[in-house]
Amino acid sequence: MIDDRTLKILVTRLTPERTVSLSFSHKFILDLLERRFNKSVFVDYFFFPEYKKFISLKNNKFQGAVSQKAGMDISKFDVIAVSNSFQLELINLFHLLSILKVPFKLKDRLKDEKIPLIIAGGVNTPSIAAITGAPEGTSGMPDDGSSSLVDAIFMGEAETNLPAFIKTLLTDPDWKKNKYEILGKASQNIAGVYFPPAYIHQFERSGLNGETALAAIVPAVGKDSPLTPARSSYIENIDTAHEFNGSIFDDSPNDATMPVEISRGCASMCSFCKEGYTQKPYREKSADEVVKTCCRLRDETGISRFNLYSYNFSDHSHIHEIVKGLAERYMEAEVKSQRADTALKTPKLLSYLQSIGSASPTFAIEGISDRLRSYLSKNLDPATINSFADSVFMAKPRQIKLFFIITGLENESDLAEFNNFFTRLVKNRKNFSPSTSIVISLMPLVPCQKTPLMFAPAPDGERVYKIIDKISKTAGGCEKTVVRSSIGRKLYEMTAIMEYGGREITCCLYDLAVNAGFVYYEDIDDRSYNRFAQNVKKAGFAFSKFYGEKDMKTIFNSDDREYGVTKNFLYKAWISAKNFKDMPRCLRNSTVKCCGCGACEGENSVYKNAGAEKNELNFNIKNDSGANKKRIVIPVFTDNKTDIPHALISPLLNGSPFKILEDSISKLSLNSNSFYGKNYYLIECSEGPVKPSQRPDKCKTAGESKAGSLTFPAVAGYKSLDFLLEYNYIFARADFDPRFFKPGGPGKSAETLFARLNPKFKAAKLKSDCAYLKENGRGSGGGFTCLTNADGLKKRPAMPVILTDNETSFIYAIFKLDKEILDIVAGAEILEYVKFYEYNVKDPQTVCNKCGRVMSHTPENLKNFSSPECFVCRLLS
């Protein structure tokens, strides 16, 4: 029970859970607040519902929206903390407010103490101005921020400002009565808190078409005073930063990894990159701290594979030391994106990472030619690109991924240069690794706020997609090559408008979401897009400025927010890009004077990189490539709250590192959200002793389940889970669909269910203590009522046994792995996998000598099977 006095915080994503499975920003925030404030706060998740669920909620007047973990009505929370990653999902913010049943305007929300605070954060905060305006539009008049969809925006790194703000709420028992004042003071006293009413956006009408352009941003208090932008916050020493304790996985919890941060910010000056410019300065976590963190997390979770996350992992000056430190402690590093130039300097490191399946060769080349790479400030010259093409296949990767940005500036010479590069790439693949597939991703350029290219003319969408089509036809026709566009044209053009537009286009998003009912699910229909485009024109969006070059006098919607790098420097970098010249990177070993972007203290500040390429010479890790690995099958009990099984498996392997290759629930195509309990895991691990499988109540782990404490030995001798394909039934404590099994009368319902599923068999009803269950911690003093087949004993009923616990009314059943039955099972805790034989008159072992039924057994007693007693007899005795 959650105390009403506890501060309740709902961490919210604007897209469904499946689309953010590999993201952990929401998990990070929850983990941060829970550990920082312990029981003073209650934190839960809410993911924007899938389409069918959303329509159901809408038809039900948005009744029934509950939090992820506690199932609590989301309108009962005190703070709704929205994590925003990109522009288009902001459309769903209107729907979130509708689900919460709160007003769209800040001024209406803050005066009502029953309405939760709506705050937003995330990497998209530089580009969030489009939801801080008025739903009715500006009509060229000033916008005072009082109609914003969010009450505050948290800029920068959450460890610094979010806990400080939450502490403010916890120390003021009357904060709900003074929300406006609380937010106003927070914006003045806490770095990185932006309060929309603190800044007035002034617009002017201009041109023959009456365009509405942002003319000035002035402070709400002291309008004649100089503008003081809200300044984002950051941590200087990330060795002291909050370390995330959760796991991430894509398709299966078996593939879970632990993300461990090794650096923040980016050392590059890529002219297009929002994250690169808004998360400076570049900072590294020390190698010792990274390895210590991984050791602690392995001990706590059982996971021995760590996702070393950073913008470019090979930039870390001690990356070799980190990878080697993990390997020496029987842990593995997993890495993602990397630069082509640093990859060339660290071939030993990459070869090792690829050999253990940890490196997905993903390279952001960006420009299709040397000229355009300089426009994007990638610092990749033709010699580097050619060397990359010559060496990338040497390690024989399964796949390489290449990312390119299409700017709209591409000419025939640029396209010819790309064709030469691609031809060289394909030739080298044929010579060194013909089985490697190539995936090329083409992303149309969006000039982002707080980047040098915000001064650039917006690309013409039609021209951009013609270039994309031309490259796709050239490269896509090659064998084992896939070319993808990262976004469709309609969504691309909406993104670009939402990036440049601010409070003047809030009304367009309001109309699209609220009046037209559009919900963002990774696509948009023609009708909705056309409506948005027409409303943008009606609102007077300044297309002439959008498609024109900007200068230092241009007022941008993000000028009231600052992220370290100064506007002067961004303009300087734009002039460099305009002239197709690279800006130097920060990693220069202090040999070149800092270019003074403003993110660091002092004109001469420069990151002192130790030089990862120097460490490459001494890098040597022996990789046995599986020579000392073995595969074993281990049975483990999980409960319905177990996120990942690693913490249960690790003690059985004496803490040795392992990989989960497969599990029985997946092998038998059962729904892992509905089926849990006994699960066989196929493990790859180092040679060494393995403990016998223990009862879950003796394994003190986070995932234990006392209810699932059946005793069984380890399964010896199996090298795969193929043996399970012979097991055609499961024994489980089951919950059935209430349409087929009415609660409140389990005895009668059990008889009805038995008759429905076994129409050709007569039921025998008896009482039993079911010693088999009692010995394993199941059942109560009331015994069991048993239903089983009394005739046709040499055949296999769909559900041969149904047991009702006379005290708890829990239902236990043996049932066939058949679609008709599985469709009526709402949830099941698996206790045993059972094989029922086909009766063979010539083989007496196919019949139970005791009861005359067809023989049945479980995997554990198969190898030494000599008892004439079947599993049904064992169960009912």
Q: What is the pLDDT of residues 713-744, one digit of tens each?
A: 345 567 889 988 889 999 999 988 777 666 55
Question: Tell me: the pLDDT tens digits for 530-568?
Answer: 999 999 999 999 999 999 999 999 999 999 999 999 999
Dist CA 342 CA 351 (whole Å): 13
Q: Residue 750: its pLDDT value, please?
A: 86
296: Cβ contacts below 8 Å, ≥ 6 apart = none
Nearest to 586 by CA among 265, 138, 176: 265
Question: How confident is the model over 354-364, as pLDDT tens digits?
Answer: 887 776 678 89
- Mean predicted lDDT score pLDDT of the chain: 88
Give, to the nearest 10 degrees, the angle between helix 382-391 and helix 412-432: 30
The average pLDDT across 866-876 equals: 82
Q: Quick: pLDDT tens for 234-249.
A: 888 888 888 888 888 7
- pLDDT above 50: residue 103: yes
Does residue 169 have a pLDDT over 80?
yes
Poorest-confidence range of 353-357, 425-429, 516-520, 578-582?
353-357
CA distance 45 to 33: 12
Q: Is the predicted pLDDT of residue 196 greater than 50, yes or no?
A: yes
Q: What is the pLDDT of residues 784-793, one digit of tens each?
A: 999 999 898 9
Q: Which of 152-161, 232-241, 329-338, 510-519 has the lowest mean pLDDT?
A: 329-338
Q: Please state, as a whole number, how many other Cβ atoms lie within 10 Å of the Cβ of residue 410.
A: 23
Instruction: Give how far Cα 499 sits from Cα of 90, 178, 448, Å.
Output: 12, 33, 6
Res. 583 pLDDT band, cuts 50 70 90: very high
Position 612 scores a pLDDT of: 66
Helix (DSSP H) and strand (DSSP E) numbers for the chain? 27, 29
φ, ψ of residue 625 to 5 degrees: the values are: 50, 35
What does the alpha-carbon distance between residue 530 and residue 655 come to, in Å, rounded to a whole number? 59
Evaluate if residue 593 carries a pLDDT over 90.
no
What's the pLDDT tens digit per position in 274-317? 999 999 988 899 999 999 999 999 988 899 889 998 988 888 88
Give the pLDDT confidence score for residue 468 in this predicted structure: 97
DSSP string, 91-132: HHHHHHHHHHT--SSHHHHHT-TTSPEEEEESTTGGG-GGGS
DSSP 464-491: HHHHHHHHHHHHHTSTTEEEEESS-HHH
Query: In the structure encoding, which two tokens stand for residue 19, read together?
Result: 């689309």
Q: Cα separation of 258 and 31, whole Å?
A: 14
Nearest-angstrom CA–CA distance, 736 and 41: 36
Pairwise CA distance, residues 868 & 513, whole Å: 68
Going from the C-alpha of 484 to that of each of 132, 427, 774, 863, the distances in angstroms are 34, 21, 58, 51
Please write down the HEC assignment for all residues of 650-697: HHHHCCCCEEEEEEHHHHCCCCCCCEEEEEEEEEEEECCCCCCCCCHH
What is the reported pLDDT for 747? 56
Element (H, E) at 629: strand 629-638
For range 322-345, the mean pLDDT: 86
- Sequence-distant (6+) residues with CB within 8 A of 820 are 757, 798
Find the length of the chain.
Answer: 877
- Could you tell me the pLDDT band of residue 624, with boundaries at 50, 70 and 90? low
pLDDT score at 547: 96
Question: Reading across the β-sheet that carries 193-194, which strands appear in turn?
Answer: 41-47, 7-13, 79-83, 117-121, 152-154, 193-194
Beta-bridged to residue 41, according to DSSP, are 7
Say what the pLDDT of residue 590 is. Answer: 54
Question: Which run of H or E residues covers position 746?
Answer: helix 746-757
Classify the C-alpha dihedral 846-849-850-853 as positive or negative. Answer: positive
- Give 45-78 pLDDT, tens digit per residue: 999 999 999 999 999 999 999 999 899 999 999 9
pLDDT tens by residue, 440-488: 999 999 999 999 999 999 999 999 999 999 999 989 889 999 999 999 9
- Structure letter (DSSP) for residue 514: I
Give 689's pLDDT tier (boundaries 50, 70, 90): low
User: What's the pLDDT band for 707 if we cut at 50, 70, 90?
Assistant: very low
- How does DSSP assign 199-233, residue by residue? EEEEEEEETTTTEEEEEEEEESSSTTSPP--EE-B
The pLDDT value recorded for residue 252 is: 76
> Do the beta carbons of residue 855 and residue 837 sit within 8 Å?
yes
Residues in contact with 209: Cβ distance below 8 Å, sequence separation at least 6, in sequence order: 540
State whether residue 288 is helix, strand or coil.
helix
With the C-alpha atoms ordered 563, 564, 570, 576, is the resulting torsion angle positive or negative?
Answer: negative
215 residue type, one letter: A
pLDDT of residue 336: 79
Find out whether 61 and 46 touch, Cβ atoms under 8 Å: no
Query: Which of 476-480, 608-612, 809-813 is predicted least confidently?
Result: 608-612
User: What percent of the chain is modeled with pLDDT above 70?
Assistant: 91
User: Measured between alpha carbons, how far is 47 from 776 in angstroms, rounded to an integer?
Assistant: 39
Residue holding tokens 């010693």? 771
Predicted confidence (pLDDT) at residue 849 exceeds the cutoff of 50 = yes
Question: What percentage of the chain carries pLDDT values higher than 90?
Answer: 58
Residue among 374, 366, 307 nearest 334 (CA) = 307
Residue 69: closest CA among 34, 107, 23: 34
As a whole number of Å, the CA-based R_g of the chain is 31
Give the Cα separation of 761 and 798 in Å (integer): 10
Omega within 30 of 0 (cis) for the link into 689:
no
- Smallest CA-to-CA distance from 634 within 674, 666, 661, 671 is with 661
The predicted structure's pLDDT at residue 254:
81
Position 352 confidence tier, pLDDT thresholds 50, 70, 90: confident
The residue written with tokens 């006293």 in the block is 189
